[in-house]
Every structure is written in structure tokens, then in C-alpha cells.
Chain A
């Protein structure tokens, strides 16, 4: 008799647990979800060139600095996702040729972060060095010794005052020197192609359109 009671009790418990689990699953499936849609902007190549304040061909000399964006290395993006080991790298690039703009130093420092571009609030170091001209190229993956073409533009003065860096928004670009690869962080109408051979003509055409 005792055993029968135990069995019934056990069965009852099992049934209750099953019901509880089912209800929990039902509740979780009824949670609302969120979708994010962003309308991107596209810019013709000639406009990108016209807006770039400095266009150079350069050679990467060294990694000048490297540091985490936050003490814990984590960075939370706008959509809530988190990048682990978010790191900023500052490269020193020797200028081999200046195609556009006024720039007198023989080197330029270019700044990038892994994962995605960084915002001024994440530039924690470098504030003391106000001479750096920095660019935010989130897919920039330079290696020492590499030659490349960089399309740069000054950002807001406020960034320099606050963080010691100029930042460029929306029309920074990095291209391999042979024109076989590249990336521009503005959405262009068609793939942007910058090569040493065509650049002077492209710049002249862009200037003529202004």
C-alpha cells in the first residue's frame, strides 16, 4: 500500500514538474523580440574623393601604440552586442606621396579598432598627444612594411580638444597600393577603387565637379 502511495506521489510530482516546465517554455516563447533596420547612405566615388582632405600613398613603419578600449577589454555596441578584447592600434605610416591636401610631416598616424569603428568616448589613451591625426577605419588591417593608399578627412575639432585625436566620420578609406583591395567606411554607390595610376585623374575630375 505504501509503495502504491509512493508511486502515485511520484507520478503526481512528475506531472506537476512537466506542467511547470511546459508553462515556462510557453512563456519564454511568448517573449517579444526586437529587429533593427538601418538605412545606409551611399556616396559616389567622386564625392568621396572630393570630401577627402588628405589622400596619400604610404608605407606602414611600425605599430606605435596598442591598448584596450576599456579596462576589461569589452565594448558594448549600439545594438547591445558586446565585443570582447576590443583593442585600439595606432600605426605610424611613412608618407611616400601626397596626392591631395596639405600635410607637411613625413609620417602620419592612423588609428583603428578591431570589431567595429570606435567612438570618441572609447579613446582612453593618447589624450596627451595632441599631434596625432587619427582615422577610424574599422576594417583596417595593416601590417608593418605594407604599402597602401589612405583617404582621410578631418573630423570635428571637438574630438581633438577632448581626446587628442581628430576623427573622421563616414569617408575614411584604406586601399591596397596595387588597387586590388580596399575598404571605405562610407557606403559608396559602386566599389571605390583607388590606384596610384588613376588617382591624379580621379582627383582632378572630382575637383572639376565641385
Chain B
């Protein structure tokens, strides 16, 4: 009998014993380059040349690199436009520049670098995603001081104040703030080119709950911001059922004041700058590291 049985048992036992020592984890491709700039989900300056840099693979003899950059979306709409199409870079170089004229839209981009080894094999870097807005952040040396509609309740005014503090504390710089409540604006109308930053109510049965109007200069810096709160929606600051949280929304709008654009991707649902919000939602009150990174980058704080 039983030699066969013993043999099978032996093989089975050995297999069981060796499973824990087997290399079951996927091994990173050491022959692929690693993109170091831009960092993942970075927000880059529009109308500015962008340098893509990477580190050389730790193994393999690179004969050349191939770089591709694609514009994936503009304002949430898919475009898929190639802006750098398989650019060939000599193996001694580990960076390339995307022309300033190529990044001029409110877009979502993807970069990848491929190392071609001398044995003819192709090794791709992890894809790197980044965004571009329209502005480069608040005008250099300025702080946008907001005048709040005096007719708002104290609860709403407090919510606006807390929203401003979230950004000031988050990025470690005061690029926005709010006037004392008594120095607000009494009119609910607004003018987006009078140099006065306002938060005022209005009513529009077709419009979104809250809208930010950004007035930006010829050199892409934010000069003035006006935020309008649509009274067609029910607002609260205590998560009352079927209401929108005023602080949640204002925190998001202050992100635009810093130059940060909407994020439309699923992975960004928890970010303050995600393009949608729900009823009773308050998660946007707290900035994520990505929101902070974007605002810092655009305003020269990194």
C-alpha cells in the first residue's frame, strides 16, 4: 500500500509546510521608473510649464524612456486628449517638461513613464494623476476678507467663520478671513468686480444651492470672490433633516477662493472639494490632506 499513500502524504505535508514561506505577495517592478513630481493628486499651476521627474529603475539597463500625459477630464467632462504623446527621452535624463500651453484648462490629467530596457522589455511606472485649475491662488501678498450679509442669522455667521478657520488652520496661512459681523453687507445683491468679497443670499429656482464667482486677473490670480447662497434650499447648521449644512457648503466654497477646483472622481468623494454634497452632510467641514495640499501648492506654500 502503501508506498504510494506515504508518498502522497509526504508531498502533501511538505506542500502545507512550505506555503507560508512562498512568495505570494506581488513584487514591485524594480525595472520600472517611479514618478516623483508631480505628486499624486497634485494641483499644478495653469499656464505654467510642468516638469515631470522620475527616478531611474533600480534594476535593468534602460535604453530610453517614453512619457505620455493625457488630459482626462475638463470640468468633469471626459476628454481623453493626449497632450504628450509617447515622447522619447534618452536614458541619461529623468525629467521632461510639459509645455505651458498644454495645461490651460480646468482639467484632470494622468502622466505615465515607461522604461524601455536594452532587452526590449517595457516597464511602466504607476500612473500619476494631477489637476489644473484656472487660477494660481489668491493674489500674491493679499488676503480675501469677506463681508457677510447682515441679515444672516448668528448661527450662519458663526458657520461661515468656522469654515474660514478650517482653511486658515489647515494651510497655516491666512489667505481668507471674515469681517466682524457688524461690518457686513446689508444688500443681498453682489458685484463681482467691485473689489469687495461678499457672502450674500439670493433665490434662483434653477440654480445650485451655493455658487462662487471668482474674479481672476490676467495673470491667473484670484482678485475677488463672491459667494451666493440660494434661499431656494433649506439650510441649517445642526444637521436638521432635509437641510443642507451651511458650514459644509461654505467650507467647500472657500476652497475655490484659494483657487482649488472641483474633484469629480470617486476616490475624492470624502474630500471637501468634491463637486457634490448631500443633505445633512457635514464631512466637508473637515479638510482632507488633499484639499490642503492643493491650496498650499496653488498659493506657493509648499
Contacts and interface: CB of A to CB of B under 8 A. Distances in A.
Interface string A63-79: 00000000000000010
A38 B216 contact: no
B279 A47 contact: yes
Contacts of A30: 217-218
Contact size range, A: 20 to 34
Interface stretch (A11-19, A97-105, A112-120, A197-205): A112-120
A78 B213 CA distance: 11
A141 interface: no
Contacts of B206: 78, 116-119, 136, 138
Nearest to B253: A39
B205 A117 contact: yes
B210 A34 contact: no
A167 B205 contact: yes
Contacts of A3: none
A170 B233 contact: yes
Interface string A32-46: 111111111111100
A180 interface: no
A138 B135 CA distance: 32
Contacts of B135: 35
A189 interface: yes
Interface string B192-212: 110000000000111111111
B216 A39 contact: no
A35 B134 contact: yes
Given A32-B218, A169-B232, A189-B278, A39 B210 contact: yes
A125 interface: no
B35 interface: no
A149 B88 CA distance: 56
B218 A29 contact: yes
B217 A41 contact: no
B165 interface: no
Nearest to A169: B205
Contact of B223 (A32, A78, A138, A187): A32
Interface in A1-58: 29-44, 47
B211 A36 contact: yes
Interface string B230-256: 001100000000001000010011001
Contact of A34 (B205, B208, B215, B277): B215
A78 B232 CA distance: 14
B262 interface: yes
Given A29-B218, A34-B216, A169-B232, A39 B275 contact: yes
B192 A39 contact: no
Contacts of B294: none
Interface of B: 106, 134-135, 192-193, 204-218, 223, 232-233, 244, 249, 252-253, 256, 261-262, 275-279
Instruction: Report the 10 A-B pairs with minimum CB-CB distance, sorted nearest first.
Output: A38-B208, A117-B206, A30-B218, A38-B211, A42-B276, A35-B214, A37-B212, A37-B256, A40-B276, A119-B205
